[in-house]
């Protein structure tokens, strides 16, 4: 799998350091707020696990699975909820935890959906921000890294459901996903 990566953008150590920094900021910002962290599956799982272990306050986690890509490299723009939350978000301080923000369409859909459920607040924490592809302007509260417009895998990010377990974020070789 590692031979399928043309370049390592972020090492495991860089990710660990940035995750610790974000966790410190979240711990300070959410003191006395009883946050509910909502992980967007499947890509956000690795980031959520490492992030929550470093947030030093009581919190709850829940999961939401949405699809806008299927097996493609480009978002279809049609978002479907594949798995909804178990927890009630009404009156809660919600922190959405994402692996990557690309066009913003999926995140916008999730935010609009959650707002109808009456949370006290909604904030966004993402490991990766790819602003070059942004279609919708969405304020991001906690950002790990701003990355260029490259197709990345690893640390939860996949192509065709593989590469998620790479311990770094790397650029997938274009010949592996380019249409022939």
Farthest CA pair distance, the chain: 54
The reply to whether 45 falls in a domain is yes
Q: Is the pLDDT of residue 73 over 80?
A: no
Distance (Å) of CA 105 to CA 53, 91, 95, 111, 112: 29, 25, 18, 10, 11
Residue matched to tokens 């890294």:
145
Task: Name the pLDDT band for 6 (thresholds 50, 70, 90).
Answer: very high
Note the pLDDT tens digit of each residue in 142-154: 999 999 999 999 9
Query: Which pTM does this prediction carry?
Result: 0.92
Mean pLDDT for 106-117 is: 95
Mean pLDDT of the chain: 93
Q: What span, in angstroms and rounded, lies between the C-alpha atoms of 136 and 177?
A: 25
The predicted structure's pLDDT at residue 26:
98
The predicted structure's pLDDT at residue 89:
97
The reply to whether 20 falls in a domain is yes
Name the percent of the chain lying above pLDDT 70: 94
Q: Which domain holds residue 113?
A: 13-148
DSSP 74-134: S--S--EEEE--SS--TT-EEEEEEEEESSSHHHHHHHHHHHTT--SEEEEEEEEE-GGG-
The reply to whether 177 falls in a domain is no
The reply to whether 60 falls in a domain is yes
Note the pLDDT tens digit of each residue in 129-143: 999 999 999 999 999
The reply to whether 4 falls in a domain is no
Number of domains observed in the structure of the chain: 1
Name the percent of the chain lying above pLDDT 90: 84
The predicted structure's pLDDT at residue 125:
98
The predicted structure's pLDDT at residue 57:
96
Q: Is the pLDDT of residue 85 over 90?
A: yes
Give the containing element (helix H, strand E) for 13.
helix 12-29
CATH of the domain at 67: 3.40.50.2020
Catalytic positions are 102
The reply to whether 70 falls in a domain is yes
């Amino acid at each position: 799998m590692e031979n399928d990566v043309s370049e390592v953008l972020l090492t495991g150590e860089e990710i660990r350091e940035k995750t610790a920094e974000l966790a410190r900021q979240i711990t300070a910002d959410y003191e006395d707020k009883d946050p509910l962290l909502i992980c967007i599956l499947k890509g956000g799982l690795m980031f959520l696990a490492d992030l929550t272990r470093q947030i030093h306050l009581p919190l709850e986690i829940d999961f939401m699975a949405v699809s806008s890509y299927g097996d493609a490299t480009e978002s279809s723009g049609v978002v479907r909820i594949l798995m909804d939350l178990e927890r009630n978000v009404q009156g809660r301080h919600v922190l959405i935890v994402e692996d990557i923000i690309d066009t913003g369409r999926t995140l916008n859909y999730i935010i609009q959906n959650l707002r109808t459920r009456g949370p006290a607040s909604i904030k966004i924490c993402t490991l990766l921000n790819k602003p070059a592809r942004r279609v919708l302007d969405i304020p991001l509260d906690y950002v790990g890294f701003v990355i260029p417009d490259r197709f990345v895998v690893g640390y939860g990010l996949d192509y065709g459901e593989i590469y998620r377990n790479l311990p770094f974020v790397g650029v997938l070789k274009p010949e592996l996903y380019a249409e022939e």
